A and B are shown apart, each in its own frame.
Chain A
């Protein structure tokens, strides 16, 4: 199954018409015209394929990891080449979608929102963990093929899809929900929170569970039980929220101080470097270490 066959049409991923035509020909005429157009388009395609090959400057070359445990020819991991017509503003996700919809519909990757909020499309792009939707091709070296691989340190399910179960388990291991004994009596009255405190937890609440950080972390790679940066950050989000109260904070620090908790972190900053939401993960982990020390001194 060769995918190294650029055949471009003028299909662009975005069209932009909202004006209803002022005077439309009859429905039948338009349908016939469209049919003719489609026939002409098919004829044009071959010529265009050649033209596109020549205009290689305007294409981007992706080398994409492929694997499927049950399909012959894909059981041994391999890289497929895709040549996608480049347009200004195109992201790695746009290019993958184009390749899938145009050349090979079995090309498999997770994606949904296309705007860096659903956290589905963390990938290993040119050797680093990034969101496909948030990575402009123009920010990569387009002179050489762009390598797109599944996240390292996770089991590959198929192509670019990895098994997220372990990540979710770690996220859920830190009691990742708000707990307080201090709710107002009135149903319609909120708990007060200072602007400073809200600001303090703000970055930590931005996590989109993409697992780029976990994938980048050497410690997590070597210690499967290590909570990992995302889960520790989730715990930080609650431990630092003044609405939970001191007692709850103690409990959270105990969870974080366990053998595979904060003390495993060796402050390599790899998680912080790859976080697509710019969360200062390493700083948060360090701060929790300091809190834990303070806490232990208090009970001496």
Chain B
């Protein structure tokens, strides 16, 4: 058994920042990650980091833009924390040596991004995430933080009291990919989930193959509510054949979208008469798909993004990476021709419910970054707001887990007083097929057993699961995974309607039942990716289902979530967060109100036009 004060799961931007912060606060911290840190998908972020750094800009403007962008589903205390802390955290990265693009006077460059009232997106070419990830990993190396790389975390060691908010987390169980050994990692002060995105729930995504939402699924099964899972961002400019991301920076620098009739449709068809291509991402994605559905798409599949008029010099200076991506992954020369683009799954606004300090309702369990829902993005994340979330809330979670006092959070977690229970209208049973299938959070008998006993029990349960999977003969998990991905892309995409969502729930149920017969055909203990992927597919099933339950429940159109049956933002009924709780295998639905009251003002919902 390994033992540390703080265990961070995942080593992208949020995980690395949390580890650095926890260590600075005096904790003995270790990172457990299924990839080596520099392989994390933060490295693929392109655009930049929103931070109010300059004269004429102010964190309150950033907060206003973010609340509006969220379609008034962001919680004001979280949004204000993000916008207040971002300048300091961004400059902290500069002080760690990050290679930002520079202005003539030597200061860091900023550029316009969608939905922003000021050009406050601080960037490093079109490779901001790569520079950020490597800069923070350098700091982790410098500080000698322990990293267990290529260890796949299988489960959390959580006690099993009746109410999730009475439970506590004492560590994680992880599988050493290289040797096949299953070990316990005791966390004396806290476990921080920083496992990133869940894009593999869909089949056309900008996310990495590793983005299977493991932390989200583990927290869900341990009893933490999943908040606003239905809010998925579909990025308007992904390459059609691979889902590779073409940064919003292209449009920020002046790139233009055209349909098959060479119309600049964002204006000519009235989708965003003021901001055009730089409207919020959900607006642009819906516009593109409407063009395609109405027959004005190119090859009925995509639209064109043209940046040729920016000129070679500017493109090479600020968007060089885009030229490589378009060339290598779509065979398009961005200097000579427009690039084909279409919407693709990009980001999960929802996730593990936390407060401003990264805490979940389970004592000792934290989440930060994309896997968490604090919630700063609400119904729609603005471009350039993901990276500041990683560094702001990664740091806060790390500090808090290490014992720093960050003040009383204003956001409540778990089933607090204002929790409103609701019914799930599913055509099929949902949740666990067999509640005793060994993926429940393990706990020692008697509830309040000590942490070591809880961890030991969890380790034993996971060792058994590995043996069972290795011994079993059955279908390849890849069949189950693609069944889920296909139905999600067909039915839970940009445009959603009741019938399709119910179909998705039925398909997911079918996939769950098939997963009961899954088998790992590779018998090896050495680097058994068949086994890892099979365990990930279980996570994909649970997440896909929760996401679809949320999408079916929320019968309105807000942010990235559009419903055919009620195509308006319904503030009277829906100024509230969706909460889905695993409830030991029988998922429950409920709501809690959104917090629109900030420190000094209330963000009154307004019509969101761009």
Using a CB–CB distance below 8 Å, which chain A residues touch chain B? 11, 14-21, 24, 26-27, 30-31, 34, 68-71, 89, 100-102, 104-106, 108-120, 134, 136, 157-159, 161, 164, 168, 172, 175-178, 180, 183, 187-195, 198, 201-202, 205-206, 208-209, 238, 241, 243-244
Most interface-central of A114, A120, A157, A187 (chain B CB within 10 A): A114
CB <8 Å contact, B87 and A188: yes
Give min CB distance, A79 to chain B, whole Å.
18
| Contact residues of A: prevailing secondary structure | loop
Q: Which of B325-384 contact A (CB under 8 A)?
A: 325, 328-331, 342-343
Q: Does B558 contact A (CB under 8 A)?
A: no
Q: Does B491 contact A (CB under 8 A)?
A: yes
Tell me which of B69-77, B135-143, B248-256, B597-605 binds A: B135-143
Partner among A104, A106, A110 whose Cβ is within 8 Å of the Cβ of B524: A106
Chain B: which residue is nearest A242 at the CB level? B106
Query: In the complex, which residues of chain A have a beta carbon less than 8 angstroms from the beta carbon of B490?
Result: 17, 20-21
- Residue on A with the closest CB to B245? A115
By a CB distance below 8 angstroms, the chain B residues around A20 are 490-491, 493, 495-497, 500, 564
The listed residue (A18, A113, A158, A205) touching B289 by CB distance below 8 A is A18
The contact of B495 among A19, A31, A176, A198, by CB within 8 Å, is A19
CB distance A30 to B240 under 8 Å? no
Residue contact A177 to B489, C-beta cutoff 8 Å: no
A-B CB contacts (within 8 Å), total count: 214
Are A115 and B242 within 8 A (Cβ)? yes
Give the residue of A101, A177, A187 whose beta carbon is less than 8 angstroms from that of B478.
A101
Is A158 touching B97 in the complex (CB atoms < 8 A)? no
A-B contact pairs, 8 of them (CB 8 A): A16-B301, A101-B478, A114-B242, A114-B244, A157-B527, A178-B138, A190-B100, A191-B95
- Inter-chain contacts of B101 with A (CB < 8 A): 198
10 A-B pairs with least C-beta separation: A178-B97, A192-B106, A106-B522, A177-B138, A177-B142, A101-B478, A24-B499, A118-B39, A112-B208, A18-B493
Cβ of B512 < 8 Å from any Cβ of A? Answer: no
Question: In the complex the two chains form, is B39's CB within 8 Å of A119's CB?
Answer: yes
Chain A residues with CB under 8 Å of B506's CB are 27, 30-31
Nearest CB in chain B to that of A189: its residue: B91
* Contact residues in B for A205 (Cβ distance below 8 Å): 99, 131, 134
Contacting residues, chain A, for B473 (C-beta < 8 A): none
| Closest A residue, CB atoms, query B106 | A192
In whole angstroms, what is the CA distance A109 to B178 when docked? 12
Q: Are B526 and A70 in contact (CB under 8 A)?
A: yes
A209 to B43, CA, bound (A): 12
Which residues between 74 and 103 of chain B lie within 8 Å of chain A, taking CB atoms? 87-88, 91, 94-97, 99-103
- CB contacts (< 8 Å) of A100 on chain B: these are 478
The interface residues of chain A lying within 8 Å CB-to-CB of B524 are: 68, 70-71, 106, 158
Residue of chain A at shortest CB distance from B206: A115
In contact, B527 and A15 (Cβ under 8 angstroms): no
In whole angstroms, how far apart are the Cα atoms of A9 and B413 in the complex?
47
Say yes or no: B107 contacts A16, CB within 8 Å.
no
Q: What is the interface residue range for chain B against chain A?
A: 35 or more
B510 at the interface (CB under 8 A from A): yes
The CA-CA distance from A123 to B292 in the complex, in Å, is 39
Query: Counting CB contacts under 8 A, is B146 at the interface?
Result: no
The docked-state distance in angstroms from the alpha carbon of A16 to that of B497 is: 18
Chain A residues with Cβ below 8 Å from B520 are 105
- A108: chain B residues at CB < 8 Å are 522, 527-530
For A193, give its contact among B106, B209, B482 (CB under 8 Å).
Answer: B106
* Cα-based distance from A88 to B540 in the complex (angstroms): 29
**Chain A CB within 8 A of B35 CB:** yes
Task: Report the Cα distance A104→B478, complex, angstroms.
Answer: 11
| Other 20 A-B pairs with CB < 8 A, given A31-B506, A188-B87 | A11-B482, A17-B489, A101-B478, A102-B478, A104-B521, A105-B533, A112-B39, A114-B242, A117-B44, A119-B38, A172-B141, A177-B139, A177-B141, A183-B95, A189-B91, A190-B94, A191-B94, A193-B102, A208-B38, A209-B36
Instruction: Give the shortest distance, in Å, between B424 (CB) and chain A (any CB).
Output: 15
> B201-224 interface mask toward A, CB cutoff 8 Å, 1 = contact, 0 = none?
001100011100000000000000
Q: How far is the CA of A108 from the CA of B524 in the complex (A)?
A: 11
List, in ascending order, chain B residues with CB within 8 A of A119's CB.
38-39
Query: Closest approach, in angstroms, between the C-beta of B470 and any C-beta of chain A?
Result: 12
Complex interface: chain B residues within 8 A of A243 (CB): 97
Counting CB contacts under 8 A, is B241 at the interface? yes
B59 to chain A, nearest CB (A): 11
Using Cβ atoms and an 8 Å threshold, which residues of chain A touch B476? 101, 105
Cβ–Cβ < 8 Å partners of B178 in chain A? 157
Q: Is B130 engaged at the interface, CB distance under 8 Å to the other chain?
A: yes
Chain A residues lying within 8 Å of B528, measured Cβ to Cβ, are 106, 108
Select A192's contact among B107, B141, B234, B500, beta carbons within 8 Å.
B107
A198 to B482, alpha carbons, bound, how many Å?
44
Tell me which residues across on chain B come within 8 A of A104, comparing CB atoms: 521
Cβ-defined contact, B530 with A106, below 8 A: yes
A188 and B41 in contact (CB under 8 A), knowing A21-B500, A177-B138? Answer: no
Shortest Cβ distance from residue B325 to the other chain A in the assembled complex, whole angstroms = 7
> Is B104 interfacial (CB-CB < 8 Å)?
yes
B219 → A minimal CB distance (Å): 22
The one of B108, B131, B289 in contact with A190, judged by C-beta atoms closer than 8 angstroms, is B108
Known: A16-B204, A71-B523, A106-B530. A188 touches B88 (CB 8 A): yes
Known: A14-B241, A17-B490, A20-B493. A118 touches B204 (CB 8 A): no
